[in-house]
Amino acid sequence: MARGHSRGRILATKWGMNPNSSSLGVDVTFLLFGASALAFATPVIAALLRLKKKPAESAGPSE
Amino acid sequence: MTERHSRLEAFGAIVQLARPRALVFVDRDRARALGLDAKGDEWADPRADGALGEAPLSAPLEAHLQLTNHCTAGCTGCYTGASAAAGANELGLDGWKLAIDELARRGVFHVALGGGESATLPWLGDLARHARARGLVPNLTTSGLAGLDRLLPIADLFGQINVSLDGLGATYAAVRGFDGFARADAALRALRSIKREIGINVVVTRANYDELPAIFAHARKRRLSEVELLRFKPSGRGAAAYAALRCTDAQHRGFLPHVLAAARRHRVRVKVDCSYTPMLAHHDPGRELLAQLAVYGCTGGDFLVGAKPSGALTACSFAAPPPPTPGPDGTTTRPRVTDLGTYWRADDAFGVFRTWRDAAEPCRSCTYHTLCRGGCRVVSSHAGDAGSPDPECPRVVDHGSPRKVRLPVV
């Protein structure tokens, strides 16, 4: 798992959207490249997350 | 069209990215670094920090709404048993809008709309717009055989649209029981001409397994965004056709390298459904790698829920509605999708779908068990015990067999 000293961890990334109305689909294309692909992708995801920092709306389930 | 940004969870948070499209699961420190913080008791238990998968999520990631069971296609293995006669006593637009409202209140990110054939519903666009207005992304599966004229003008409302295509030419007929390939392919071309996020859903059977590389080639030729592979399930009419159409043990064992080779050769993204997790784990790709890709087995009643055309809530689209539970007035009723918030927290909610930790061998000692969760409950149920290990998992097959098969790591 990607580990930062104080910025915490990205635990998992579920890619894409699932149009299939019968079961949960996951993108396994990364398995072609193994763990090295994640070593490349995780910093990219981290950077994209930082762009979303301080959102106007942070929503947990509202009761 | 504003999409839900994020949702707090006991382990941290889930953040939605629009480009690239992804749900990112982060621990509490990372959530704080992103400006998120607990407003209530979400992070009360320090042991839950970072423990994705240890407990059910606060709400599903996505809901699978079977808007109607009406369909004139009559496919041999239809998992809902859809028919031209169906359509009565279904929820309808107003009922599904209330369902969407409840899903939005609970923090659901996506809805997958299906049927029956939902593309023929005159109010499909209204429902998709309602979902968008509530911050949910609607996605759609269609046979492509009917309703295309209605679908094309509203295609941009959906995040992703996949057309079911279980084979090319004669193979389509062998799997579905009629020749609909040309019409489904015409729908693919028409949808792709106006939208990028178009893909193929393939229900994998022993009849089309060898043709999967050709299907990937077809997806490339049509410039589609993905191929999603679905394991054939013994549900609806599929229960009767299961023995004849389900993949063989050898096909299950060879599934992962077979599809990855096709994806690599034709440069098309590949998705697989949750029930294939035992077949992925068989090749020991690494638990951490699968965890990072959010590859989970049975996540019914956790990452996902289903709803029948009547509005009955289910753990997944293949599962029967849970047994009736006592209501506040003393009567017993089955939970409905509009009851999601209260039913979700019930002690025995979704039955065996949430008791996967009580696994028997060979699941209990399997490295991948906390991801795979025992494989597909629907297949296990068909074999006689919904709580037992998936009988088609290679590890389960080998457990009762003297032969030991070792395959190379992918």
CB contact under 8 A, B12 and A55: no
Domains parsed from chain B with CATH numbers: 3-48 (no CATH), 62-305 (3.20.20.70)
Average pLDDT over residues B123-138: 97
> Given A17, A28, A31, which is nearest B160 (Cβ)?
A17
Weakest mean pLDDT among A17-31, B16-30, B95-109, B293-307: A17-31
Which pLDDT score is estimated for B51? Answer: 97
Which pLDDT score is estimated for B324? Answer: 84
CB contact under 8 A, A23 and B304: yes
Sign (positive or negative) of CA dihedral B97, B101, B102, B104? positive
CB contact under 8 A, A20 and B17: no
Which pLDDT score is estimated for B403? Answer: 57
pLDDT at residue B130 above 90? yes
Weakest mean pLDDT among B23-37, B75-89, B263-277: B75-89
How many angstroms away from the CA of A44 is the closest CA of chain B? 10
Average pLDDT over residues B344-352: 93
Task: Copy the structure tokens of residue B113.
Answer: 């709309």
B201-217 pLDDT, tens digit each: 999 999 999 999 999 99
Phi, psi of A45 (to 5 degrees): -60, -40
B291-319 pLDDT, tens digit each: 999 999 999 999 999 999 999 999 999 99
Which pLDDT score is estimated for A54? Answer: 53
pLDDT at residue B149 above 50? yes
Average pLDDT over residues A45-62: 67
- Strands of the sheet containing B62-66, edge to edge, are A25-27, B270-273, B226-231, B198-204, B161-164, B137-142, B110-114, B62-66, B304-307, B313-314
The kind and range of the H/E element at B110 are: strand B110-114
Query: A25: which chain B residues are within 8 Å (Cβ-Cβ)?
Result: 228, 230, 271-274
Average pLDDT over residues B169-182: 91
> Given B135, B201, B270, which is nearest A20 (Cβ)?
B201
Whether the Cβ atoms of residue B176 and residue B73 lie closer than 8 Å to each other: yes
Share of chain B above pLDDT 70, in %: 98
Which pLDDT score is estimated for A6? Answer: 65
The contacts of residue B62 (CB under 8 Å, 6+ apart) are A18, A24, B108, B109, B110, B111, B112, B303, B304
Query: B159: which chain A residues are within 8 Å (Cβ-Cβ)?
Result: 17, 19
Which pLDDT score is estimated for B406? Answer: 57
Which pLDDT score is estimated for B410? Answer: 55
CB contact under 8 A, A22 and B24: no
Which pLDDT score is estimated for A22? Answer: 74
> Given B5, B140, B317, which is nearest A58 (Cβ)?
B5
Query: B202: which chain A residues are within 8 Å (Cβ-Cβ)?
Result: none
Task: Assess whether the previous peptide bond of B116 is cis (omega < 30° from 0).
Answer: yes
What pTM was estimated for this model as a whole? Answer: 0.93
Report d(CA B259, CA B253) in Å as an integer.
12
Which pLDDT score is estimated for B323? Answer: 84
pLDDT band for B402, please (50, 70, 90 cuts): low
Which of A31, A50, A51 to mutate: most B Cβ within 10 Å? A31
The kind and range of the H/E element at B102 are: helix B92-106
> Given B264, B280, B317, which is nearest A22 (Cβ)?
B317
Which pLDDT score is estimated for B387? Answer: 92
Which pLDDT score is estimated for A58? Answer: 43
List alpha helices for B267-376, DSSP H. 277-281, 287-292, 340-344, 369-372
Report d(CA B294, CA A17) in Å as an integer.
13
Average pLDDT over residues B337-351: 94
Which pLDDT score is estimated for A60? Answer: 47
How many angstroms away from the CA of A31 is the closest CA of chain B? 8
CB contact under 8 A, B29 and A54: no
Which pLDDT score is estimated for B77? Answer: 84
Average pLDDT over residues B353-362: 94
B96-116 pLDDT, tens digit each: 999 999 999 999 999 999 988
Report d(CA B91, CA B48) in Å as an integer.
38
How many angstroms away from the CA of A47 is the closest CA of chain B? 11
CB contact under 8 A, B158 and A49: no
Tell me the C-alpha to C-alpha distance, in Å, between residue B260 and each of A16, B27, B92, B105, B256: 18, 31, 40, 38, 6
Report d(CA B291, CA B369) in Å as an integer.
11
Which pLDDT score is estimated for A2? Answer: 47
ipTM of the complex: 0.93
pLDDT at residue A63 above 80? no
Share of chain B above pLDDT 90, in %: 85
Weakest mean pLDDT among A4-8, A34-38, A39-43, B399-403: A4-8
CB atoms within 10 A of CB B8: 23
Whether the Cβ atoms of residue B17 and residue A41 lie closer than 8 Å to each other: no
